[in-house]
Structure formats: structure tokens, C-alpha cells
Amino acid sequence: MGETIDRNSEDDLTRRCARIEQENEFLNSQFANLKQELREVKNTQQGSAVAEFKKLTKAGLDPIGEMMAETEAQVQTIAEIHQFVSDFRDKRITIKDFMKGPSIFQQMQQVSPEEILRELFSQF
């Protein structure tokens, strides 16, 4: 009734739909590949370490801060032992004091084995 139908517009619409469907399939394929890669990464040692870190952080713990504090304590212990040996070398302490050992070891001997075990297992 006087209107002309543009056949090119119908073909154009069909082509657009086909192109969008192809892009959608490609994106779905990429998404599936990324999900698989993520699963594989989570199963590595680094992935499990990250997961454990997230759990501890969520529980309100600071695992890195705790490791730093532990490392600093170990460095302090080694520094005290070094100073103790240096004092003996420089004749600032007697052989009797040297045989007693550094004060850090004397403090450790005062701790009972039960306390050491309790502290060890409290970390788990």
C-alpha cells in the first residue's frame, strides 16, 4: 500500500544478530577457559597459600605480622648469642659464666616441656 520494504535492512539485521551470536559464543568460550585456569591456579601451592592467608585474615589474624614478629625474635636470640660469645672472646665474662650459657638459654630452660608443647600446638 505504497510502502516499500527494504530487503537490505532485514539482511543487515540478520547479519548483525549472527555477528553478535558469534561474539557471545567467543566470550562464553573465553569465560570457560578463564574459569578452568582459575581452578588450576587455586590447586597450586601458591593458590593454597593465598587461600590460607585469606582465611586467617578473615578470622582477624595477621599471619605476616606474626611471621615478622617470630623472625625478629629469632634475630634477637641470635644477636644475644653473638654478643655472649663476643663477650667471652673479649674476656668480659668468665669461663664459669660461659659454661652457664647465654641468658636466653637459661630463660628457655625455666619453661616446662608442657608449656613448650602447649605453645607449639596453640599455633595450629
To the question of pTM greater than 0.85 for the whole model, the response is: no
pLDDT of residue 77: 86
Q: Which domain holds residue 5?
A: 1-43
Concatenate the DSSP letters of all residues of 32-86 into one string.
Answer: HHHHHHHHHHHTSHHHHHHHHHHHHHHTT--HHHHHHHHHHHHHHHHHHHHHHHH
Q: Do residues 69 and 117 both lie within one domain?
A: yes
The dihedrals phi and psi of 39, each to the nearest 5 degrees, come to: -60, -40
Contact 106, 84 (CB under 8 A): no
Rounded to an integer, the average pLDDT of 88-93 is 90
Taking residues 89-94, what's their average pLDDT? Answer: 90
32 and 75 within one domain: no
pLDDT in tens, 44-88: 999 888 889 999 999 998 988 999 999 998 899 889 889 988 999
- Compute the distance between CA of residue 51 and CA of residue 56 in angstroms, rounded to an integer: 9
Cα 93–Cα 100–Cα 116 angle in degrees, nearest 5: 135
How many domains is the chain partitioned into structurally? 2
d(CA 40, CA 14): 39
Specify whether 67 is located in the same domain as 109.
yes
Task: Indicate if the pLDDT at residue 104 is higher than 80.
Answer: no
